[in-house]
Amino acid sequence: MKKLIFALIVAVIGYQFFMGKQATAPDLPQQLSLESYAISSGNLVLVNRDIQLKQDPTNLAPIPTDIAENVIVNSEFLFENQAIKPLKQLFDAAANDGIEHFIINSAYRSGKLQQQLYEEHGADYALPSGHSEHQTGLSLDIGSTAGKMENVDEGKWLEEHAADFGFILRYPEDKVDVTGINYEPWHFRYIGLPHSMIMKKNNLVLEEYITFLKKEQFYTTEINGTSYFVQYTDNKTTANIPDSETYIVSGDNENGYIITSIIE
């Protein structure tokens, strides 16, 4: 019964989300080879209790200890290199709004460390190796020196503005039944634009968003004056994409790719 109710909710939300999608895709004259991309790599890989990460990240870099004046970074935390710039932009924007008391408590964790946490603290505290988002190098725990994130300005600001910079609150309070994880107001995940904005606008978590992409196959959207064409394919060798010099390919960590192209 629960599965049926969830399916109906997904169908309704899916219609509302994609009803603005153009009826046909734009011209897709460019053929892209996917053979050099990995299903288990990219900003949109889905990792949870049921889906195990099949490939460790290969482009990690230390988060600078001086990334922003309003953030304490008191350890060498590794993070996906290309996500460090938007992370800095996020903190700088918060500082401009007078939000001053952030602290980074965790970022990338190796499979060995994740398994150690799981064995020491149990399933209520940690997921087993391969099932934690921290192993992707795309998630981090952001706290506040002023108090618990659910009560302080830092948490409220991030929940409202993180999506502007490509980040999502991965485990929101109203989606526990979908994510299988209790509310974590400190756990933020980088997925990039336009995905974070679309998810926030339509109150979706990553599991729901990937389901929509698989069902609808493509959509177009405009964010801050930039037009994006997002498409899903389960073809492992090639894809036809718009005539664009700027595109990002991400595996979904299951059986397909999401290609995000910037279009004129």
Cα 235 to Cα 254: distance, rounded to the nearest angstrom: 12
- Report the half-sphere exposure of 210 (CA within 13 A, side-chain side): 22
Q: How confident is the model at residue 116 (pLDDT cuts 50, 70, 90)?
A: confident
Instruction: Note the pLDDT of residue 129.
Output: 80
Selected from 1.25.40.20, 3.30.420.40, 3.30.465.10, 3.30.1380.10, the CATH number assigned to the domain covering 52-190 reads 3.30.1380.10
Strand duo 257-263 + 226-233: pairing: antiparallel
Spatial CA neighbour of 40 closest among 195, 259, 250: 250
Residue ranges per domain, the chain? 24-44+193-264, 52-190
23-53 per-position pLDDT tens digit: 577 899 999 999 999 999 999 999 999 999 9
Q: What is the pTM of this model?
A: 0.90
120-171 per-position pLDDT tens digit: 877 766 787 888 999 999 999 999 999 999 999 999 999 999 999 999 999 9
Q: What is the DSSP letter of 82?
A: G
For range 100-106, the mean pLDDT = 97
Paired with 80 in beta bridges are: 60
| E strand or H helix that includes residue 260 | strand 257-263
DSSP per-residue letters across 128-150: PTTS-GGGGT-EEEEEETTB-TT
DSSP per-residue letters across 196-214: HHHHHHTT--HHHHHHHHH
160 catalytic? Reply is no
Spatial CA neighbour of 142 closest among 211, 203, 49, 68: 68
Top CATH class of 24-44+193-264 equals alpha beta
Cα 249 to Cα 236: distance, rounded to the nearest angstrom: 12
Model confidence at 8: pLDDT above 60: no
Model confidence at 9: pLDDT above 90: no
Tokens of residue 205, six digits? 């978590």
Tokens of residue 239, six digits? 């894809």
The residue annotated as part of the active site, out of 100, 184, 207, 216, is 184
Cα 28 to Cα 40: distance, rounded to the nearest angstrom: 25
Instruction: Note the pLDDT of residue 264.
Output: 73
Axis-axis angle for helices 206-216, 2-18 (nearest 10): 70
Instruction: Note the pLDDT of residue 23.
Output: 52
- Share of the chain residues as helix, strand and coil, in percent rounded to the nearest 5: 35, 25, 45
Strand duo 187-190 + 167-169: pairing: antiparallel
Instruction: Note the pLDDT of residue 158.
Output: 98
Cα 234 to Cα 158: distance, rounded to the nearest angstrom: 34
Cβ partners under 8 Å of residue 125, min gap 6: 117, 118
Model confidence at 3: pLDDT above 80: no
- Which has more confidence, 72 or 7? 72
Quote the mean pLDDT of the chain.
Answer: 90
Decide if 240 contacts 216 (C-beta within 8 A).
Answer: no
